Structure 1
Amino acid sequence: MSVELTLISRSYCHLCHDMEVALAPLLAEFGAVLKVVDVDADPLLEARYDELVPVLLHADTELCHYFLDEAKTREYLAGIR
């Protein structure tokens, strides 16, 4: 079973696009999948993450926001294998 990470994102956010691109090698390395969720499509998500996007999550665990923390994300993914 592959790990599903969630990227809370906005369509017009360049940081969001940058994080999605930067995640691609880690997703491939760990066989993880990425679900991209538009923060503006859900009022609850917008209230919680509005100024923090992009936000990378695994379930309820926030791995990073604004920029990909590759070392932390790699360590986290290695630990849940």
Structure 2
Amino acid sequence: MLKFTLYSRSYCHLCEDMALALKALLGDLPYDLEITDVDADPALVEKYDELVPVLTGYSVSNGWQQLCHYHLDAKAVTAFVQEQS
């Protein structure tokens, strides 16, 4: 199953937009999306503060990798999904 983490904020409309765009892009493909509030962890604020929302995907061969930030990069996510097949 595809695994993604969306680094987000509770008041971030771009974060909500990215989650919805991911759902639309993946359609019926099974995937797991964990939404993590960066403001709950100072280390995440330091790493992602100005980039939120940030979408990462988990690959068995490469571990977690950043796929896009601000807006969903459909090409990057599609390429990531194809690599996992």
TM-score w.r.t. the length of structure 1 is 0.90
Which residue does 1:41 correspond to in 2? Answer: 40
1:23 aligned partner, one-letter code = L
| Deviation by residue 1:28-76 (Cα, 9 ceiling, x = unmatched) | 3431111100000111111100000000001420000000001110111
User: How many pairs does the alignment contain?
Assistant: 80
Q: Hey, which bits of structure 1, 4+ residues long, moved more than 6 A?
A: none
| Deviation by residue 1:1-46 (Cα, 9 ceiling, x = unmatched) | x121000000101111110111112343431111100000111111
Task: For structure 1, list consecutive stretches of 5 or more residues without a partner in the other structure.
Answer: none
Separation in 2, partners of 1:68, 1:40: 21
Task: For structure 2, list consecutive stretches of 5 or more residues without a partner in the other structure.
Answer: 59-63
Question: For residues 65 and 51 of structure 1, do their structure 2 counterparts lie closer, same or farther at Cα, with a shift above 3 Å needed?
Answer: same
RMSD: 1.2
Which residue does 2:71 correspond to in 1? Answer: 67
More strand, by proportion: 2
TM-score w.r.t. the length of structure 2 is 0.86
